[in-house]
Amino acid sequence: MSDDPLAEVVDEQLAITERVLEELAAFRRREPKLPMLPGTGVFEERLRLSNVLNDLADRLIRGIARDPTKLWVLTEFQRSLELVEQEDTEGREHFGMELERIMDILDIESSDGLLACYLGGV
């Protein structure tokens, strides 16, 4: 990518409460992730994408209390999005839906174009 989509992010403080951390932990524990991923033989794809999501959730749980900002969260998202850029369209779309669940947990209304940049308008 030539332009960093994080440059477009409007940063804001996030209210990280014990409830928010519990919801992130519940997201991390939830299995299966990407339950609506279509197709047959998607076990490997679901596992691969779930591992990226679990790693992201772990990073968020460990670090968000130290830096409770939208920019920090989206920077962590970007690290994960770069890992799934080569996945097929359906995989990226469902990965994006899972990221939107995390955004809901954190009360982030918009990725300011980050998801669209990596997921092609999801």
How do the domains of the chain map onto residue ranges? Answer: 1-8+46-122
pLDDT at 10 over 80: yes
Q: Tell me the CA distances in angstroms from 14 to 60, 87, 106, one per residue in order.
A: 12, 30, 7
pLDDT at 42 over 80: yes
Q: What tokens appear for 6 in the block?
A: 């994080």
Taken as a whole, the chain contains a residue count of 122
- How crowded is residue 59: how many other Cβ atoms within 10 Å of its Cβ? 15
Q: State the pLDDT at residue 121.
A: 55
Model pLDDT for residues 60-113, shown as the tens digit of each residue: 999 999 999 999 999 999 999 999 999 999 999 999 999 999 999 999 999 999
Q: Tell me the CA distances in angstroms from 103 to 23, 39, 42, 69, 116, one per residue in order.
A: 11, 26, 25, 12, 14
pTM for this structure?
0.93
